[in-house]
């Protein structure tokens, strides 16, 4: 008998109107597999590309009978996904039911033993990923980004050759889902596949190619660059309030002092120079920043 995915639906909680949030878990068991993979998307409700990527990749797993066991959760955060205000996705944090601190959905591995909504949800995901040897958590970043991966410095062999241009190594784990899994002894990677909130067919296709390379369905390629997150990932803040007009795209190389944007303030227009030499990794969603609001992240030479 050829392995096929089986579906389990896990209830999370119900709302005041008794609508129910649930998680679908798709499992695939190959008789010759020696490794189990946990593949997840959508932990941040504004990060959409990974959801169709997991759905599409499950078809390939079955068609090619990949010799791994898989646990797939394409839509890991239904509360986040259903968070929108006037047509704009807002589910990066729990804005709905947490009265005080609006937890970032991907920084609460430490809440797994708390009987709160967030604690129960993250415990559910951590229990689902517990049998896995490899954890791939699919995210997106910024209003515009170039694809990148966050990985522990010991796991470089797993992230090179996939065709993802920027590889961001870290030493000290956060309470993110992947980092929590890394601390449990797994290969655990956070993929940032594309820009947040939007989904484009080309990005879905490209993301599937990254996964095919990861699982040996396609040969590895050259061209990725490794950066040290603690030293080389830098944020950039607006020097004044105004309307921001970019002259660079995410992924572009920049030189310190080069004009990369114009800020239209009440006093006139201001040329904004790149504070760094390196790569513009991602742009934040804001185009009408306040003074000192974060505008972007750079990878710095």
Distance in Å, CB of 185 to Zn ion, minimum? 23
The residue among 42 and 278 lying less far from Zn ion, judged by its C-beta, is: 42
The residue among 53 and 61 lying less far from Zn ion, judged by its C-beta, is: 53
The residue among 167 and 263 lying less far from Zn ion, judged by its C-beta, is: 167
Residue of 143, 181, 248 whose CA lies nearest to 40: 181
How would you class 258 by CB atoms within 10 Å of its CB: exposed for 0-12, middle for 13-18, buried for 19 or more? Answer: middle
Residue nearest Zn ion, CB atom distance: 139
The residue among 3 and 109 lying less far from Zn ion, judged by its C-beta, is: 109
Distance in Å, CB of 44 to Zn ion, minimum? 4
Angle ∠(118,5,107) on CA atoms, nearest 5 = 20
How far, in Å, are 137, 150, 162, 249, 271 from residue 229 at the CA level? 18, 8, 19, 21, 28
Residue of 159, 92, 78, 55 whose CA lies nearest to 125: 78
Distance in Å, CB of 294 to Zn ion, minimum? 16
The residues near 266 (Cβ < 8 Å, ≥ 6 apart) are 242
The residue among 105 and 298 lying less far from Zn ion, judged by its C-beta, is: 105
Q: State the DSSP H helix or E strand holding residue 152, giving kind and residue range, or none if neither.
A: strand 148-152
| Residues of this chain that bind Zn ion (CB under 5 A) | 44, 47, 139
Q: Which residues are 134's β-sheet partners?
A: 37, 187
Distance in Å, CB of 47 to Zn ion, minimum? 5
- Residue pointed to by tokens 């120079």: 273
Distance in Å, CB of 141 to Zn ion, minimum? 7
The residue among 47 and 144 lying less far from Zn ion, judged by its C-beta, is: 47
The rounded distance, in Å, linking the Cα atoms of 250 and 284 is: 10
Distance in Å, CB of 251 to Zn ion, minimum? 18
């Amino acid at each position: 008998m050829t392995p096929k995915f089986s579906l389990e639906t896990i209830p999370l909680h119900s709302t005041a109107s008794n609508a129910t949030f649930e998680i679908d878990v798709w499992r695939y068991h190959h008789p010759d597999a020696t490794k189990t993979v946990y593949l997840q998307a959508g932990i941040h409700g504004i990060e959409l590309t990974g959801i169709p990527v997991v759905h599409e990749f499950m078809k390939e797993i079955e068609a090619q009978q990949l010799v791994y066991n898989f646990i797939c959760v394409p839509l890991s955060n239904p509360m986040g996904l259903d968070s929108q205000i006037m047509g704009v996705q807002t589910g990066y944090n729990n804005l709905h039911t947490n009265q005080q601190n609006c937890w970032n959905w991907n920084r609460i591995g430490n809440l797994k033993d708390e009987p709160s909504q967030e604690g129960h949800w993250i415990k559910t995901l951590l229990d689902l990923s517990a049998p896995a040897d490899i954890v791939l958590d699919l995210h997106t970043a910024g209003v515009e980004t170039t694809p990148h991966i966050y990985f522990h410095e010991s796991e470089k062999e797993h992230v090179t050759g996939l065709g993802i241009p920027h590889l961001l190594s870290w030493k000290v784990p956060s309470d993110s889902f992947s980092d929590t899994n890394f601390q449990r002894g797994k290969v655990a990677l956070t993929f940032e596949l594309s820009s947040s909130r939007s989904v484009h067919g080309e990005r879905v296709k490209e993301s599937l190619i990254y996964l095919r390379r990861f699982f040996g369905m396609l040969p590895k390629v050259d061209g990725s660059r490794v950066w040290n997150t603690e030293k080389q990932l830098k944020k950039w803040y607006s020097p004044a309030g105004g309307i921001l007009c970019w002259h660079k795209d995410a992924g572009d190389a920049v030189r310190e002092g080069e004009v990369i944007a114009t800020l239209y303030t009440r006093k006139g227009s201001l040329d904004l120079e790149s504070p760094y030499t390196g790569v513009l990794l991602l742009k934040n969603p804001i185009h009408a920043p306040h003074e000192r609001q974060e505008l972007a992240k750079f990878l710095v030479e």
